[in-house]
Amino acid sequence: MTKAKSRGRGRPRYDAEDAKAAAAFRKLGAKTTLEREDVAPLWVQLRNRIEDAMNKGVLAANSRIPSEQAFCEIFGVSKPVVRAALGALSVDGRIIKMPRKGMFVAPPREHVDFMATNLGVFGDLTAKGHKVSTRTFEFVRAKPSEKERRIFGLPPEGDVVRIGRVYMSDNVPITMTHISLPGHRVPGLETRLGENMSVFQTLREIYGITLSRADRWLTAALPTPEQVDRMGISAHTPLIAIESLAYDTEGMPLEYYEAVYNSSLARIHMAVGHSPAGQLLKTSF
């Protein structure tokens, strides 16, 4: 990709304040090519390149983020693209904004828990060092049920994508899920989501969708015959039934699922408290 020329006023101020970060961003920009014909918007591609560099340590924690203008010059994109990419990274907690100081790469998270965050089963277990694999038994685009139509506010001609999966942690079935997504939000998902791929990560990287919150309900349950068969468990295995409705950053319902978690493999720990914003904290395994 052709990079924009310098403004001729010298380097952006952040170069002098954090020369190491400036060099890292410029090196990343020199190796980054954004494809304008790709199904993923430019801002999604840019966001993913930056996050990947953060995950690999190329962009160190606490290093200063370039200004919008510097970003435009480094990556050869417009300000709206830069703002959308940085906004998504901020929502995901990957960058932090400090008044009168600028933006910085956020320190790595100590841990994540799928019951308390929107990473989902795949992301939570992977983050904890487990080898995660999936066994998909349903993947269809279909007319919504009355419940799905009501949840997503779909018109009569709308459709949903349904995904049925068993998730395995270190080759042991740990949870089984039935996921529903509003079809118009995920065109072509059937050709994009493969086995052993995270649903949440695919939504973020291909469609630029970030989930900001979820409501979840837990009840005790015994397995159904289908769950016994698909998870290879006893009919007397204690399970935790989970119902979840997740929303995007605009507050629109995006993902509904019903799942069962094999509580004989690991306990769920809940520490109850409140953040300054009044949010409930925190749940972990």
Lowest mean pLDDT among 75-79, 108-112, 152-156: 108-112
Tokens of residue 161, six digits? 């994508």
3-state secondary structure 153-202: CCCCCCCEEEEEEEEEECCEEEEEEEEEEEHHHCCCHHHHCCCCCCHHHH
The arithmetic mean of pLDDT across residues 174-192, rounded, is 92
| Confidence tier at 60 by pLDDT (50, 70, 90) | confident
* Separation between Cα atoms, residue 226 and residue 49, nearest integer Å: 41
The arithmetic mean of pLDDT across residues 20-29, rounded, is 86
Condensed to tens digits (0 to 9), the pLDDT of residues 142-180 reads 999 999 999 999 988 899 999 999 998 888 898 999 999
What predicted TM-score, i.e. pTM, was given to this entire model?
0.60
Condensed to tens digits (0 to 9), the pLDDT of residues 209-221 reads 888 888 888 899 9
Q: Is the pLDDT of residue 272 over 70?
A: no
